[in-house]
């Protein structure tokens, strides 16, 4: 695959902020340790994810008039269709996040293509909306992932950490927009605690986390990039923590010229802009 950078936003916008959420629910815990399936108190964080965490996050987004993208494992969507219905009813986009949050069982191209096709079909059936993109659990993609996404009719991937700008990847089966992120913009490293390693760490205060996120937003904005937040209702959806994405939205408003699209909208715009540039060269 070849790669070209197209840092182009709609007129009047200098940068983009994608405030995305991963609704992992119980799979966040069962994928760390299958034994957690028999630990109801560990799994109860997944109940919070789908319940009060999601309520607080949806309330925050509605209060700011922001529509965004929720990445959902297909097992979660099948088990909890009403949560998907709530998200869709608020105007948000549903995208792929694997089946059960475990690594790919078979990393061959045919097996990965079959899995992604099945996940897309399932999410479209449950949500009643088109599904256009993918974030792999733990960002664990293969060299084939983005070409498979193009092949099955998707427009975006949000997995890589190689750029500050969305960019177009051209493969054998078409073009895909990569919307890159970084671990610093994922709430997991700041807010995820488990009673066994590897997620056994000290919590940080909101001011410390806000400092990192607001500094990143302002610096990426200055460079005209995309700030791709990767958030989880069971982590940042705590009643005090939900102030963190609120601070980001307030800061974006203060900066001005920060575009807040769904990832599908961002990808469509970047692909259109790339088409115009390609036609101009022809």
**CA 32 to CA 38: how far, in whole Å?**
13
267-142-164-212 Cα dihedral, nearest 10 degrees:
110
Among 15, 18, 21, 24, binds Zn ion (CB under 5 A): 24
Smallest CA-to-CA distance from 176 within 71, 93, 96, 274 is with 274
**CA 242 to CA 237: how far, in whole Å?**
5
CB of 234 to Zn ion, least distance (A): 10
Window 101-160: residues binding Zn ion (CB under 5 A): 137
| Residue closer to Zn ion, measured from CB, 137 or 261 | 137
Among 21, 22, 84, 151, binds Zn ion (CB under 5 A): 22
Q: Is the dihedral of CA 272, 276, 279, 281 positive or negative?
A: negative
CB of 126 to Zn ion, least distance (A): 18
47-51-72-248 Cα dihedral, nearest 10 degrees:
-120
If one asks whether residue 187 binds Zn ion (CB under 5 A), the answer comes out as no
CB of 136 to Zn ion, least distance (A): 9
Please count the residues of this chain forming the interface with Zn ion, following the rule CB under 5 A: 3
| Residue closer to Zn ion, measured from CB, 127 or 158 | 158
262-to-95, 105, 269 alpha-carbon distances in Å: 10, 30, 11
CB of 36 to Zn ion, least distance (A): 15
| Residue closer to Zn ion, measured from CB, 24 or 151 | 24
Q: Are 61 and 67 in contact (CB under 8 A)?
A: yes
| Residue closer to Zn ion, measured from CB, 6 or 26 | 26
CB of 258 to Zn ion, least distance (A): 25
| Residue closer to Zn ion, measured from CB, 137 or 233 | 137
Tokens of 73: 């494992």
CB of 223 to Zn ion, least distance (A): 27
| Residue closer to Zn ion, measured from CB, 53 or 137 | 137
**CA 159 to CA 230: how far, in whole Å?**
10
Q: Are 166 and 270 in contact (CB under 8 A)?
A: yes
| Residue closer to Zn ion, measured from CB, 9 or 156 | 156
* x/- map, 225-254, Zn ion, by CB under 5 A: ------------------------------
257-to-151, 201, 224 alpha-carbon distances in Å: 34, 37, 10
CB of 151 to Zn ion, least distance (A): 24
Tokens of 207: 């001011």
Q: Which residues bind Zn ion (CB under 5 A)?
A: 22, 24, 137
């Amino acid at each position: 695959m070849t790669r070209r950078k197209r840092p182009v936003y709609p007129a009047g916008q200098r940068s983009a902020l994608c405030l995305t959420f991963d609704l992992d629910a119980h799979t966040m815990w069962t994928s760390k340790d299958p034994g957690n399936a028999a630990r109801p108190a560990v799994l109860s964080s997944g109940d919070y994810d789908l319940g009060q965490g999601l309520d607080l996050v949806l309330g925050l987004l509605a209060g700011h008039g922001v529509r965004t993208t929720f990445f959902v494992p297909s097992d979660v969507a099948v088990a909890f269709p009403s949560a998907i219905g709530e998200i869709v009813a608020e105007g948000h986009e549903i995208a792929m996040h694997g089946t059960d949050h475990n690594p790919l069982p078979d990393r061959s191209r045919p097996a990965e293509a079959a899995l992604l096709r099945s996940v897309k079909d399932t999410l479209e059936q449950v949500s009643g909306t088109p599904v256009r993109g993918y974030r792999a659990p733990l960002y664990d993609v293969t060299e084939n992932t983005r070409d498979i996404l193009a092949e099955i009719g998707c427009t975006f991937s949000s997995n890589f950490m190689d750029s500050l700008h969305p960019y177009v990847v051209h493969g054998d089966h078409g073009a895909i927009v990569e919307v890159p992120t970084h671990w610093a913009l994922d709430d997991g490293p700041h807010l995820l605690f488990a009673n066994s390693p590897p997620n056994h760490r000290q919590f940080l205060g909101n001011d410390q986390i806000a400092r990192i996120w607001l500094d990143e937003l302002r610096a990426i904005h200055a460079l005209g990039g995309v700030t791709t937040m990767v958030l989880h209702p069971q982590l940042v959806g705590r009643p005090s923590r939900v102030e963190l994405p609120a601070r980001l939205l307030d800061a974006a408003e203060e900066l001005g010229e920060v575009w807040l699209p769904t990832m599908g909208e961002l990808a469509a715009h970047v692909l259109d802009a790339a088409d115009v540039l390609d036609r101009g060269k022809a």
